[in-house]
Structure 1
Amino acid sequence: MKIRRIETFVVPPRWLFVRVEADDGHFGWGEGSLEGHAEAVEGAFENLRDRFVGHDPFRIEDIWQIGYRSGFYRGGPVLMSALSGLDQALWDLKGRALGQPAWELMGGRVRDRIRAYAWIGADRPHEVGEAARGRRAQGFSAVKMNATAELDRIGTPKAIEDVAERVHAAQAEGMDVGLDFHGRVHRPMAKQLAKMLEPLGLLFIEEPLLSENPEGLAQIAHLVATPIALGERLYSRWDFKPFFESGAVDIIQPDLSHAGGLSECRRIAAMAEAYDVAVAPHCPLGPLALAACLQLAATAPNVAIQEMSLGIHYNTGGHDLLNFLTDKQVLTPVDGYLPIPTGPGLGVEIDEAAVREADKDRHRWRNPVWRTRDGSFAEW
């Protein structure tokens, strides 16, 4: 068996799907979505096609090593997102060809389902209660929301009080809450916010500082008992390594469409296990990314909870998480949990005709640019 073609599809709302087909007709799907940079990831596939068309698709680890190391320059969001999509598609193809779920090929299941959380916006306090009620009606018992909207580097006591107000509004609806600082908070305020939030019993605070500030993250982690989560902007086990060693993180959030796919994220999870660090994969993306996450949840004992993008505000224009699936039940939460898929490969079936049609009107998604009241750039 040899790889015959590697195709990419830029589909709404902001996803990039990958399809790998072998010369005997077997195929697999993956997702290399990199929000706002689909064109760059698609360009990176030119190199991958040159290297791997004609290669044995069952040699997933060999392909991963060549894909990562052979171009001299390695790592980073663009190259790793392309490799992630290819890796997922290869696991899907191999599982389909052998009639087994990817998790079976990786050692078998450690669980039957994984707790899921949904996202609520919460940029404005009045939105929180209504959004939390909506998620509770869907069966969720946990949500993640933004801690703040756009924020100055030095804030006021009122800005800090508003964060607590948002949390209380969600908890009043019976929700466990993870709070995402989203890189919007800078060091002068991050310590104050983290300390103030400690008594509220949060699931975690995410990216209290950007991961480019490891020394500040370590300081915050040692200042408060609230679990610190990060990792969506880290792209390999080598990126995660210093955070394990410094004790700056309690929950890692690798994105299986950014951090080397199922192969690399399984290795990252194993590293985390050695440091007694939990895993909560980042996944505000599409169905193939989520299906890959569930394969990881099936095999990695320290996966604790799974993010999913059902109804997230990015999914506009009638395009939502389940749109391109022929069997939507596979990724539908039940009582706040996602069942581990039992079908071959990644365990989901993609409507290929719908994907090809959607690719004709390719999205050009970009994140917004925010400014503070003085007109300067604000982290989104």
Structure 2
Amino acid sequence: MKITDVVLTVVGVPRHTGFVNKHIIVKLLTDEGVTGIGEMSDFSHLPRYAPDVQDLTRVLKQIVVGKNPFDFELINKELLDNFPEAMYYYEKGSFIRNGIDNALHDLCAKYLGVSVSELLGGRQQDKIKVCYPIFRHRFMDEVKENVKVVRERFQQGFDEFRLYAGKNIDADEAFLAEIEKEFGSKVTIKSLDFSHLLDWKSSARAVKRLSKYNFTLVESPAYKNDFDGLRHFRFKVEHPVSEHVWSFRQQYEMIKNDSVDIFNISPVFIGGLTSARKAAAAAAIAEKSCLLGTTQELSIGTAAMAHLGCAMSNLDYTSDPTGPELYVNDVVKEKVTYENGYLIPPSRDIAGLGIELDEEKMKQYQLDDLSWSEVSVHQLQDRTSQTR
């Protein structure tokens, strides 16, 4: 079997907040008539640049057309040579590699008549506990609205939440107090996610202030690639510390410096399922736990993570992929499902990722390119249509 063509389609799908996220849907065509699909998820990030899609298509065709799709390592090496790691987790090259690697796994699993989780080594669990994100407070009057989000999502079965923290600690504390008062032990705050906004000392002071409330772990409490700072923070606080993996060099430095307890692994940030498996294996060798991170993917990218998570042996903490719940719609016939706070992977009886494109929805949300509209930095960081 040989790959004969690469088709990239830009789509823009609104979130419930009104912010429109832009993604690229990937199709890999073959001479056997089998098509693999993937997702380059969420190009709407800082830094504010995006590839030219026509040029990207030409480059990817040069890399993959004529290749055997089972040559994962060979193709990923060539992708990495052309779209190298940049020690930054919103690096667009990782998004590109992730989309192609998703599609390779979908294609090969379909050809073999097995699910992607079988291709990844088989399932060790049948569902993944996930949390719903609560976006960052910039103003005190946003607390009431975020408590309402928890109330509504709790009714839908979500009982764990991740709080983006650190911009307004007074508001963060007010939110945690309201959640404890209204829900008690019925709701868990999985993490305080500082998203590299603060230096490690400021994060440590914030955690000390907020530690009278219940939360499980702390994420990204130091500036990006500050491995010493992460280590100092980890040994200063009692909560487990998590950090994203966005390059193998960065993961090596975190292992060497004993900087974290938990590796936050997401295919979109490390460049695909092939690389994510390696990162999870490195974590296991270092005797570290893992959780699945997210950039809030659509259903294709989320399904890929569901297959990955179900095949992992060290997925020890509640994970983050709830992207399809944040969007008003999707580009597939049936979205991935959530039940009682768990992500349910597509049936292992369905070959590939278990997700089918809806061509009408693809047309509905299709865009010409990834060009930027006039949005503020705050909108990009918090994925909101608010301009204040």
Taking structure 2 as the reference length, the TM-score comes to 0.83
Alignment of 1:232-311 (within 5 A): 234-283=245-294, 284-303=296-315, 304-307=317-320, 308-311=322-325
Offset of residue 341 of structure 1: 1.8
Partner of 1:337: 342
Partner of 2:162: 144
Q: What is the match of residue 8 of structure 1?
A: 8
* Equivalent residue letter for 2:202: M
Contact 1:31 1:257 in 2 (8 A): no
Distance 1:279 1:327 in 2: 28
Contact 2:4–2:65 (8 Å) recurs in 1: yes
Unaligned runs of 5+ in 1: 150-158, 372-380
Deviation of 1:187 after TM superposition, in Å, equals 4.1
2:290 is aligned with what amino acid? V
Please state how far the C-alpha of 1:362 moved relative to its aligned partner: 4.8
1:5 positional shift: 0.9
Q: CA deviation at 1:122?
A: 4.9
Question: What is the SS of the residue equivalent to 2:27?
Answer: strand
State how far apart, in whole Å, the 2-side matches of 1:278 and 1:365 are: 37
Cα distance change, pair 3–368 in 1 and its aligned pair in 2 (3 A): same
Q: Distance in 1 between matches of 2:354 and 2:260?
A: 31
Counterpart of 2:107, as a letter, is L
3-state SS, counterpart of residue 294 of structure 1: helix
* Alpha-carbon shift at residue 237 of structure 1 (Å): 2.4
Structure 2 CA distance for aligned equivalents of residues 111 and 350 of structure 1: 26
The verdict on how the C-alpha distance between 1:38 and 1:309 changes in structure 2, with shifts beyond 3 A counting, is: farther
CA deviation string 1:37-60 (max 9, x = no partner): 683274545322212111111212
1:24 paired with 2:32, answer yes
Aligned to 1:152: none
52, 56, 59: which one aligns with 2:71 = 59
Structure 2 unaligned blocks of 5 or more? 14-20, 380-388
Q: Is the 8 A contact 1:20 1:90 kept in 2?
A: yes
Tell me the residue number matched to 1:113: 127
Query: Is the Cα contact below 8 Å between 1:41 and 1:82 reproduced in 2?
Result: no
8 A Cα contact 2:218 2:240, kept in partner: yes
C-alpha displacement of 1:169: 2.4
Deviation at 1:311, TM superposition (A): 3.9
Query: What code does the residue aligned with 1:25 have?
Result: G
Following superposition, the deviation at residue 269 of structure 1 comes to 0.8
Structure 2 counterpart SS, 1:92: helix
Alignment of 1:341-352 (within 5 A): 341-342=346-347, 343-352=350-359
| Offset at residue 351 of structure 1 (A) | 1.1
Query: How far 1:30 sits from its partner (Å)?
Result: 0.9
- How far is the alpha carbon of 1:161 from its aligned partner? 4.1
1: distance between equivalents of 2:351 and 2:372? 32
Counterpart-to-counterpart distance in 2, 1:59 and 1:181: 38
| Counterpart in the other structure of 1:217 | 230
CA contact (8 A) 2:116 2:352 kept: yes
How many pairs does the alignment contain?
349
User: Which amino acid is the alignment partner of residue 134 of structure 1?
Assistant: E
2:195 maps to which of 170, 182, 203: 182
Give the aligned partner of residue 366 of structure 2. 359
Specify the code of the residue in structure 1 equivalent to 2:354.
Answer: G
- Asked whether the 8 Å contact 1:5–1:20 carries over to 2, the reply is yes
Change (3 A) 1:295 1:30: same
CA-atom RMSD, angstroms?
2.3
- Name the CA distance, whole Å, in 1 between partners of 2:30 and 2:222: 44
**Distance (whole Å) between structure 1 residues aligned to residue 219 and residue 376 of structure 2:** 20
**What is the alpha-carbon distance in structure 1 between the residues aligned to residue 202 and residue 52 of structure 2?**
35
Q: Secondary structure at the match of 1:39?
A: coil
**1:109 maps to amino acid:** R
Distance 2:64 2:157 in 1: 43
Matches of 1:345 and 1:299, distance apart in 2: 14
Tell me, in whole angstroms, the C-alpha distance in 2 between the residues paired with 1:17 and 1:277.
33
User: Structure 1 310/354 Cα, relative in aligned 2: closer, same or farther at 3 Å?
Assistant: closer
Match of 1:134 among 144, 152, 155: 152
**Deviations for 1:92-143, whole angstroms, at most 9, x for unmatched residues?**
0111111111111221111111111111225132223211111111101111
Residues 1:228 and 2:241 are matched in the alignment = yes
Q: Residue 160 of structure 1: CA displacement? A: 3.7
Asked whether the equivalents of residues 280 and 305 of structure 1 are also in contact (C-alpha less than 8 Å), the reply is yes
Whether the 8 Å contact between 2:52 and 2:369 is mirrored in structure 1 is no
Identity %: 24
Residue of structure 2 aligned with 1:170, choices 150, 166, 179: 179
Evaluate the alpha carbon distance shift between residue 365 and residue 200 of structure 1 in structure 2; reply closer, same or farther with a 3 A threshold. farther
The answer to whether the 8 Å contact 2:200/2:233 transfers is no
d(CA) in 2 for partners of 1:206 and 1:44?
Answer: 33
**Match of 1:153?**
none
Q: For residue 128 of structure 2, give the secondary structure of its aligned residue in structure 1.
A: strand
1:275 CA drift (Å): 2.5
- For 1:167 and 1:365, the matched residues in 2 are separated by 35
Change (3 A) 1:356 1:161: closer
SS in 1 for 2:50: helix
State the 1:327 CA deviation.
2.0
Q: Which amino acid aligns with 2:62?
A: D
